[in-house]
Amino acid sequence: MKKNKKIILGVTGSIAAFKAADIVSLLSQQGCDVTVIMTKEAEHFITPLTLQMLSSNKAYRDMFEVTDGWDVEHVSLADSASLILIAPATANVIAKLACGLCDDLLTCTVLAARAPVLLAPAMNDAMYQHKATQANIERLKKIGYHFIGPVKGRLACGKAGLGRMSDVEDIVSASLKLVR
């Protein structure tokens, strides 16, 4: 199967990061070429090796990793993307993107990209409903970012509320609708 839809999957530091493995697998089964960019915090929840094996591509982790050749990775990754999906999208990464901050490989790649961006928030319900988070989400929507979820459900803190990342199948479906 020829893989012509290049999706960058950003994985951030949330317990929902374990679902990234299923997202990579399902997108790959749909003929997408998936490349993962992980934040350092994401590595506390899922390993780069897992995502690399499922995607058959390098899992990028470090902005300043020494490579064999000359390549400005965040620019080349951004230029190759048909879609950037961030799942899970923490309050932290949403805030950084809303302010135009780029202090890691993921945020630099997003700011350098012309591809659509889809975020799947995952966080505690109080964090999600906080006025700052809601303002950041609205700001990103106004400049063209897309969102899926979150949904109500059991959260890592043990209670139920609005903040659980959307189901993997729904995220994959939304991604396929946006990929160009």
Just list the catalytic residues: 157
Q: How deeply is 50 buried, as exposed, middle or buried, from its count of CB atoms within 10 A (0-12, 13-18, 19+)?
A: middle
CA distances from residue 149 to 12, 47, 72 in whole angstroms, order as listed: 16, 25, 33
Q: How far is CA 56 from CA 40, 71, 134, in A?
A: 21, 20, 36
Q: Where are the alpha helices (DSSP H) in the chain?
A: 20-29, 48-55, 73-80, 91-99, 105-112, 125-129, 131-142, 168-178
Peptide bond into 150 cis (omega under 30): yes
Angle in degrees, CA 149, 9, 137, rounded to 5:
35
- Asked whether 84 and 37 are in contact (CB, 8 A), the reply is no
